[in-house]
Amino acid sequence: MTRDWIIPSWHGPSRVRAVFTTRNGGVSTGPAKSMDVGAAHATAADLAGAIGENRRRLRALLPSDPVWLSQVHGRETALVDGGNAPAMRESPPQADAAVTRTPGVVLTVRTADCLPVLLADREGSVLGVAHAGWRGLAGGVLDAAVAALRVPAHDIAAWIGPGIGAAAFEVGADVRTAYCDADARCAPHFTPLREGKWLADLAGLARQRLTALGVTDIAFDPSSCTFTDTDRFFSYRRDRRCGRMALAAWLDA
């Protein structure tokens, strides 16, 4: 079994633990081969089959069952603690970010081109994860997640995980307008491609937004592109039918 999952390389505190799965190391077949973690609301059939086995392989690395999110490309942020975590495991909240101060609570976001983002304060007292696609990012998902941490932004470290790269993310005028009309400083992150089309640097836009919020300690590997690296990553833009990867993160006791 090949399992080349990613441990974030960043300046976050050692108390924060995290892993990002790749498409390798699981048992799914077909377009979702092999480490598909499935949808937030996994069916009984899913859990009895390959997705269930894939989740068990991930669970073996975690201190508790993860809290999955019902992601809708919005900005809602779930506040998770020891009291409400069991209910959220049973019924994933509709949110695209989550924050916890409780050790052992595992937060997860699922991606397949969108950016998985990890946030924590330098003391390791609070942790956040976010699912940042272009809609959620334009809509303020990182703003909401940073605010929910309730610590000074300059005390936050961030990691931006693998997503679709700047050379592969073709977008139309609607995407460019959503960013540039709100903030003209976004314009350099759009490269003209042809009439009405641009290449968008999603990770660059995420870094710019975090910096504008006051977060300056941001780690990112620009060589990781989910669209072009077919062996390692799922990509919805590339394949349409594909699996989902997961960022799982928690605070050590």
- Taking the C-alpha atoms of residue 13 and residue 7, their distance in angstroms, rounded to an integer, is 13
Residue 223: predicted pLDDT = 85
Residue 222: predicted pLDDT = 83
Q: How far apart are the first and last CA of the chain?
A: 30
Is 210 contained in some domain?
no
Exposure string (b/e) for 24-59, b if CB count within 10 Å is 16 or more?
bbbbbeeebbbbbbbebebeeebeeebbbebbebbe
Average pLDDT per consecutive 10 residues, the chain (253 residues; last block may be shorter): 88 97 97 97 95 98 98 98 98 98 98 98 98 98 98 98 98 98 96 97 98 97 93 97 98 93
CA proximity to 205, closest of 130, 138, 158, 112:
138
Instruction: Output the CA torsion 35→238→118→101 (10° steps).
Output: -60
Is 59 contained in some domain?
yes
Contact between 142 and 203 under an 8 Å Cβ cutoff? The reply is no
Question: Could you give the C-alpha distances from 144 to 18, 117, 139, 160, in angstroms and in order?
Answer: 21, 13, 9, 16
Tokens at residue 207, please?
A: 């870094």
Residue 51: predicted pLDDT = 98
Is 105 contained in some domain?
yes
The conformational region for residue 113 under phi > 0 = left, psi -120 to 50 = alpha, else beta, is left
- The values of phi and psi at residue 16, to 5°, are -85, 125
Residue 59: predicted pLDDT = 98
Instruction: Output the CA torsion 37→28→239→198 (10° steps).
Output: 30
Residue 1: predicted pLDDT = 54
Is 195 contained in some domain?
no
Is 187 contained in some domain?
no
Task: Name the DSSP letter for residue 84.
Answer: T
Task: List the CATH number of the domain containing 143.
Answer: 3.60.140.10
pTM summary value: 0.97
Is 169 contained in some domain?
no
Is 142 contained in some domain?
yes
- Taking the C-alpha atoms of residue 218 and residue 10, their distance in angstroms, rounded to an integer, is 8
Residue 102: predicted pLDDT = 98
User: How many domains would you assign to the chain?
Assistant: 1
Residue 20: predicted pLDDT = 98
Residue range 153-210, pLDDT digits in tens: 999 999 999 999 999 999 999 999 999 999 999 999 999 999 999 999 999 999 999 9
User: Domain range holding 132?
Assistant: 16-164+215-251
Is 246 contained in some domain?
yes
